[in-house]
């Protein structure tokens, strides 16, 4: 094995893990000797709870720590104590340092993905040489269990489009008659999937940059980084560190590394990846594909990678129209990436088409809310960074843009510069609208910008005494957008920012938008998403 990949053939190697103790190195199946292992689980959210529950079942001595002493966390703590957790420590003071486990130093920390490496407990563990895994790393270690099938993993990351691609991948696998499920960052904790009594043949695993940061030994059948753009710099500390986390999705891949032909950075990641001998590099493009690529010919999605005659022909997979009513370019790219993953797993072309037809997208991603009076209303609340918002904006010609929120330290200058020509007006959300407002002033000075005069907080009561300030804010935004929009315009909620300053989640923000739009008139329609 060697390092690097090129074209349709590649070779790579993975050195033994030297960062862990001999005992941890031997923990590679469910049936390994986990008994008595002293583990601190950082976080009691969905993934942390699942990790703690799994480790208790394996026989480890588990201490769970979370800074939040909420009623919900107390209830989870009670459950974990009942099933056998050694201790559950709630409160900020407990998260400030690495606790002992049954009076002895911890052998291992398993962290929730949201915990930053600089968090005091994790920083102390790293300084003390205590290995740190994420829940995905733990899931990989216990995936093999006597008496149950061991699922193949198809891993998906990227700044945007992960959830859609994971859903499409799952749908294609199911259409082929495989027992498969989407897991990971998509919503279902991966350890819950691993512990399913029947087991699965395939897992479509969505991986965030946080999860990849804490994963060390995953060796998937096929992998993809859909795209990369500046995001989560506040968590990783730099864009370079974020890129490195994303690139690690390709490490130890066995059959195919899938990359975005239209973004050189992803191809470079594949070229530098340490992979298993014989692993192929397969590109996807929304243009005409070359050999060993997936792409588009006229209005068809085609495969020139996983057919014997790929040098002079292509296999038809599906038509673009089968993806839905509104089919932006990035949705086509997501479908091609999913098709490449499943084709690498031996899934027939007919199942790709059937999977696309059967795919039911979630809300908040290029969701058509209403199309009446010549104005199209689109909810893309999941566009939580400039890269996602750019893809969304590029799908429409004349846009009243509802945007803003928690910026996460990113710049909006390139986004505004690229799309200034299509902006009819902008309605700004966010407790601190200055970053986006400044970019608009610099690069689109002639575009009207509406800013709520008083309501800039999700706390307390809203304008006019509203008990639901988030709903009141969105009602104002929708009313303002309706005032500005004319026949032929699209009102697009694509915030380019996180939601937590004024809403509980991107879903809460999107639901508020949908409710406000529908309160104005008809129920509209729902289309597929990006």
Residue partners of 174: CB distance under 8 A and separation at least 6: 180, 355, 358
Residue 165 marked ligand-binding:
no
Residue 424 marked ligand-binding:
no
Compute CA 173 distance to the chain's CA centroid, rounded to the nearest angstrom: 20
The string of DSSP letters for 271-295 reads HH----TTPEEEEE-SS---TTEEE
φ, ψ at 174 (rounded to 5°): -65, -40
Residue 164 marked ligand-binding:
yes
Residue with the two structure tokens 């066995």: 254
Residue 528 marked ligand-binding:
no
Compute CA 475 distance to the chain's CA centroid, rounded to the nearest angstrom: 29
| Dihedral, CA of residue 284, residue 285, residue 286 and residue 287, to nearest 10 | -140
User: Which of 360, 361, 394 has its CA nearest to residue 494?
Assistant: 394
User: Which of 184, 206, 214, 161 has its CA nearest to residue 384?
Assistant: 161
Spell 462-471 as b/e; 16+ CB within 10 A means b: beeebeebbb
Q: Which helix (H) or strand (E) holds 23?
A: helix 22-25
Name beta bridge partners: 401. Answer: 426, 492
* Residues 258, 157: Cα–Cα separation, whole Å: 11
List Cα–Cα distances, 311 to 300, 304, 308, 333, 413, in angstroms: 18, 8, 8, 22, 42
User: Which of 413, 479, 475 has its CA nearest to residue 444?
Assistant: 413
Residue 266 marked ligand-binding:
no
| Residues 269, 256, 328, 370, CA torsion sign | negative
Residue 177 marked ligand-binding:
no
Contact 433, 404 (CB under 8 A): yes
Residue 188 marked ligand-binding:
no
Binding-site entries for ATP: 158-164
Binding-site entries: 158-164
């Amino acid at each position: 094995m060697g390092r690097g990949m090129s074209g349709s053939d590649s070779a790579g190697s993975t050195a033994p893990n030297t960062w862990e103790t001999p005992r941890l190195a031997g923990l590679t199946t469910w049936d390994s000797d986990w008994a008595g292992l002293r583990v601190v689980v950082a976080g009691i959210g969905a993934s942390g709870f699942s990790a703690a529950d799994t480790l208790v079942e394996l026989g480890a001595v588990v201490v769970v720590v979370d800074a939040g002493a909420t009623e919900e966390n107390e209830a989870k703590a009670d459950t974990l104590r009942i099933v056998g957790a050694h201790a559950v420590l709630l409160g900020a003071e407990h998260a400030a340092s690495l606790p002992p486990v049954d009076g002895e130093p911890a052998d291992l920390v398993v962290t929730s993905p949201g915990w930053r490496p600089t968090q005091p407990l994790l920083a102390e563990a790293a300084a003390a040489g205590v290995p740190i895994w994420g829940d995905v790393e733990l899931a990989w270690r216990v995936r093999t269990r006597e008496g149950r099938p061991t699922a193949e993993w198809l891993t998906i990351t990227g700044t945007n489009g992960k959830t859609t691609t994971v859903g499409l991948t799952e749908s294609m696998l199911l259409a082929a008659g495989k027992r498969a499920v989407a897991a990971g960052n998509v919503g279902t904790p991966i350890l819950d999937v691993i512990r399913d009594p029947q087991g699965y043949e395939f897992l479509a695993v969505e991986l965030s940059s946080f999860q990849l940061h804490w994963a060390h030994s995953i060796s998937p059948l096929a992998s993809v980084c859909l795209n990369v753009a500046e995001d989560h710099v506040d968590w990783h500390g730099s864009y370079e560190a974020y890129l490195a986390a994303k690139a690690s999705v390709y490490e130890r891949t066995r059959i195919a590394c899938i990359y975005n032909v239209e973004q050189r950075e992803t191809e470079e990641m594949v070229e530098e990846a340490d992979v298993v001998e014989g692993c192929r590099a397969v590109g996807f493009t929304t243009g005409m594909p070359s050999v060993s690529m997936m792409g588009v010919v006229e209005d068809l999605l085609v495969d020139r990678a996983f057919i014997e005659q790929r040098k002079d022909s292509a296999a038809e997979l599906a038509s673009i129209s089968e993806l839905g009513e509104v089919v932006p370019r990035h949705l086509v790219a997501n479908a091609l990436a999913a098709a490449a993953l499943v084709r690498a797993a031996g899934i027939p072309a007919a199942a790709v088409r059937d999977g696309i037809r059967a795919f039911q997208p979630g809300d908040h991603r290029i969701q058509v809310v209403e199309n009446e009076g010549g104005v199209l209303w689109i909810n893309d609340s999941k566009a939580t960074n400039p890269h996602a918002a750019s893809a969304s904006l590029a799908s429409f010609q004349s846009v009243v843009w509802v945007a803003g929120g928690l910026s996460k330290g990113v710049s909006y200058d390139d986004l505004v510069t690229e799309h200034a020509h299509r902006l009819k007006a902008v309605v700004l959300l966010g407790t601190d609208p200055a970053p986006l407002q400044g970019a608009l002033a610099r690069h689109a000075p002639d575009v009207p910008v509406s800013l709520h005069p008083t309501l800039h907080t999700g706390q307390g009561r809203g304008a006019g005494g509203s008990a639901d300030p988030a709903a009141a804010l969105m009602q104002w935004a929708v009313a303002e957008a309706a005032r500005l929009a004319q026949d032929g315009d699209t009102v697009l909620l694509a915030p380019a920012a996180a939601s937590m300053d004024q809403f509980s989640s991107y879903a809460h923000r999107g639901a508020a938008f949908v409710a406000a739009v529908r309160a104005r008139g008809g129920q509209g329609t729902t289309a597929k998403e990006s």
